[in-house]
Structure 1
Amino acid sequence: MSAASPVSLRPPPSGYAEWLVDLKGRIHTAQQRAALAVNRELVGLYWHIGSEILARQAKQGWGARVIDRLAQDLRSAFPDMKGFSPRNLKYMRAFAQAWPEPEFVQQVAAQLPWFHLCTLLDKLKTRAERDWYLVQAVEHNWSRNVLAIQIETRLKDRSGTALTNFDARLPKPQSDLARESLKDPYRLDFLGLGKEAEERDIESALVQHITQFLLELGAGFAYVGRQVHVEVGGDDFFIDLLFYHLKLRCYVVVEIKAGKFKPEHLGQLGFYLTAVDAQIKSEHDGATIGLLLCKTKNKVVAEYALRDSSRPMGIAEYQLIESLPTTLQTSLPSIEQIEQELTDGGEEEQE
């Protein structure tokens, strides 16, 4: 066994540890900036190639076979550079067609890795949808897998759709942010439970799958606890699930009802909000908000019940089995196909 280095045995000088932490942070930041700069250049290059293909096919009447010829010639000219397969060139053309403005590409689209952009092209058909998910992916730093999940579960269509009384019970802009933080319905099919699951079963499964549940809840939610105990007047009460929202700076009480929504459910939820405000939240936290998750709801009844509530609350349904429609696919080769080609065919994914 070799002797330890004399340097490793000596105690570091005063201030060394703090300096090392600072240097590590600077190196990490520089690495991130370098990676981002490389990605910007790559995305910009791909957009330019796609634009050239579009322009020349339109003006000179070149057919689709020119892409195969171009792929062959580019591979011959740059044998060490990956990404010039016919499939990837088709994505470049689709990329330039989907976002024709170079300014948008440079300032917004280039913040995402290339295969994130391919996922947007592959799974979405309209500019509005692609832009919405692109901005969300940049803002929340989604991995490509998370981006695909959010698209497949139709996050855009569900965001901000829960019934709430936030406009009347919260000041702006907090009311707008709170409303956008909730969705309807919540998709809980990852729990593996049947339609008739009881409230406690759902609650237990959500805690067991808390990472996936936090992803479904959306950005900003932090898990605090399950069956959180509050004592009021000597009686014990237990909150189903308690979260804290980092952007709203407030606690969020989630109550689960296995059946159809009833107006009296809001009375119980309101009681818990009052208890949290009185016993848990600090003076720096905003008013606690509540989310009631129920199997079904009569929209008119729910709207009436929310009008009578003095506390900020929302009502949304949950789905224990997959029932949302599958997103229509485009005519492009799938992202899986091109990844397989780039991996097995001698070209590596450039992320």
Structure 2
Amino acid sequence: MEIEQSLIADIKAIIQSSKEAAIRAVDHERTLMYWRVGQRIFEEEQVGKDRAEYGLYLTQLIAEQLEPEFGSGFSKRQIELFRQFYRQFPIANTLYSQLSWSQYKLLIRLDSQDKRDFYIAETVKNNWTVRQLERQINSSLWERLLLSNDRKSVLAVARSEQNPSDAKEIIKDPMYLEFLGLKRESSYYEKDLEQAIITHLHDFLLELGNGFAFVARQKRLHIEGDEFFVDLVFYNRLLQCFVIIEIKTTKLSHQDIGQLQMYVNYYDRYEKRDFENPTIGILLCADKNNAVVKISLPENNKTIIASEYKLYLPSEKQLIDEMKKEIEKLQKDE
């Protein structure tokens, strides 16, 4: 009986795998079709490039001819998207079969090739869904990582051309936790925020970044008869180290930094193995004073990171304002 059940399970797995492969193949062929339509429109534009507004005339003409027969997928807006698709991805064999047309539509709207390359590499490497890619774009993952790293380094890590050499290359500040569903105007106990993170652990791991695995919650430490409890413990296989997260729902203090430093020291002395790198500590806080953080830590500190959390995604204006403030801070530090 067990053999028969195993046989049925294997057959079901084969069927499901084949269905998924067929769906991916169909979607990739559809993506190539849109690319070829965009290529053909672009070629025609070049023939008549001396005629003013010829491109707009073409897209309108094509939509009027195709939409009645093939549906809204060939509206004027979609036709313009096909043309833009070809112009941004002019080499067919550089298109990824792992990416769906819905994902390419998100990528087309990005304003730089470096940014597109980054999100493509991250999507392929992490097997992001359309929803996950959209969330990472909306939460400005590219810009957040760039604040503490150079452009080449961010791209190299995303493409797996190099492993991160510093935790700041993959850990974000701020972290956006809108998926927890907590209201922004409310205050929460640390245990409530911790429970919400555990409930939405998959999304939290996505926000943390590449290579993270969950290890423990409220990890008990015994130190000479005293007991301490670490909020969350993770392991990062890229950094090859433990990552301890302490949650603070109030403004960060130097005492909080000292407490986290003690936990990091404990893990380095009693948990870390010889082949592993020093433990990283993250203070996930509602608010922080960067000057206090900087003065409380050694100048060559690379193991303690303070990251603010936000319970909602930023508006475009908030993002621009935040980016300006962070760039000004970096310039003052140089």
Q: Is TM more than 0.5 here?
A: yes
Residue 45, structure 1, aligned to residue 33, structure 2: yes
Aligned to 1:296: 287
Residues 58-91 of structure 1 deviation map (CA, whole Å, 9 limit, x = unaligned): 4224352433432454467x75x98433332221
Deviations 1:218-272 (CA, angstroms, capped at 9, x unpaired): 2332333332212121211101122232443432110122344333433211221
Aligned to 1:70: 62
Q: What is the CA–CA distance in structure 2 between the aligned matches of 1:205 and 1:295, rounded to whole Å?
A: 15
d(CA) in 1 for partners of 2:236, 2:263: 17
Unaligned runs of 5+ in 1: 1-10, 164-172, 329-351
Distance 2:306 2:163 in 1: 18
Which of residues 292, 296, 305 in structure 1 aligns to 2:296?
Answer: 305
Q: Which of 88, 100, 104 does residue 94 from structure 2 map onto? A: 104
User: Structure 1 246/29 Cα, relative in aligned 2: closer, same or farther at 3 Å?
Assistant: farther
Tell me, yes or no, if structure 1 residue 273 matches structure 2 residue 259.
no
Q: Give the match's secondary structure for 1:111.
A: coil
Render the CA deviation track for 1:81-125: whole Å, top value 9, x for unaligned. 9843333222111111222333433xx4x4310111112224x23
Q: 1:36 to 1:82 in 2, by over 3 A?
A: farther
Given that residues 203 and 240 in structure 1 are in contact (C-alpha distance below 8 angstroms), is that contact kept between their aligned partners in structure 2?
yes
Name the CA distance, whole Å, in 2 between partners of 1:316 and 1:324.
19
Aligned counterparts, 1:132-171, within 5 A = 132-159=118-145, 161=147
Indicate conservation of the 8 Å contact 2:241/2:278, yes or no: yes
RMSD: 3.5
Aligned to 2:82: 92
TM-score by length of 2: 0.74
Deviation per residue, 1:174-203 (Å, 9 max, x gap): 652633220001123442243654434433
Distance 1:159 1:217, change over 3 A: same
Deviation at 1:291, TM superposition (A): 0.8
Q: Quote the offset at 1:142 in angstroms.
A: 1.2
Is structure 2 residue 193 aligned with structure 1 residue 202?
yes
In 1, the alpha carbon distance for the partners of 2:30 and 2:176 equals 36
Q: Percent identity?
A: 32
User: Which letter maps to 1:221?
Assistant: F
Whole-angstrom distance in 1 between the partners of 2:300 and 2:230: 19
CA 174–133 in structure 1, closer or farther in 2 if over 3 Å, else same: closer
- 1:66–1:324 CA distance, 2 compared to 1 (3 A): closer
CA distance in 2, matches of 1:199, 1:12: 47
In our comparison, the structure showing a higher alpha carbon Rg is: 1
The alignment status of 1:242 with 2:272, answered yes or no, reads no
> 1:194, 1:321 within 8 Å by CA — same for their partners in 2?
no
Moved more, 31-40 or 224-233: 31-40
Identify unmatched segments of 5+ residues in structure 2: 150-161, 320-334
Shift of 1:160: 6.4
Q: Once the 2 structures are TM-superposed, how far is the Cα of residue 126 of structure 1 from its aligned partner?
A: 2.6
CA-CA distance at 1:159 after TM superposition: 2.5
2:164 and 2:239 in contact (8 A); partners too = no
Which residue of 1 is the match for residue 325 of structure 2? none
Q: Distance in 1 between matches of 2:8 and 2:318?
A: 49
Higher relative contact order (CA 8 A, sep 6+): 1
Check conservation: 1:160, 1:182, Cα contact below 8 A. Answer: no
Residues paired across the two proteins, number: 301
Candidates 246, 249, 261, aligned match of 2:252: 261
Partner of 1:120: 107
Letter aligned with residue 69 of structure 1? L
